[in-house]
Amino acid sequence: MVVYRRGGCAFCAALRRQLRRAGLETVERDIWVDPDAAAFVRRHADGAETVPTVDVAGTVLVNPTGRQVLAAAAAAGIEVPPRPHRWWHRGSAVSS
């Protein structure tokens, strides 16, 4: 799985955190450093350099959510490690 990104992109950083938390291994290519990566993104984003753009086994997602990338990975047969069970639940109240 290849993630096309650029420095300073908050959306790229957020997606990176989500994918790392999910345990997915990625290769990152910076479109500001790699002209071939920038050309790839432009081909798939109607001429724009929209990042993040993710290539999941040939399926290209432009500005996807973490859930969309995980779904594409599962559809491509990429093993997504199970998420560990959290011992706490956001918003739940415990009464004694």
Mean pLDDT of 2-31: 94
Of residues 64, 48, 81, the one with CA closest to residue 2: 64
What 3-state class would DSSP assign to 48?
coil
CA angle 15, 20, 24 (to 5 degrees): 100
pLDDT in tens, 50-74: 999 999 999 999 999 999 999 999 9
Domains along the chain with CATH numbers:
2-75 (3.40.30.10)
Enter the pTM of the model.
Answer: 0.82
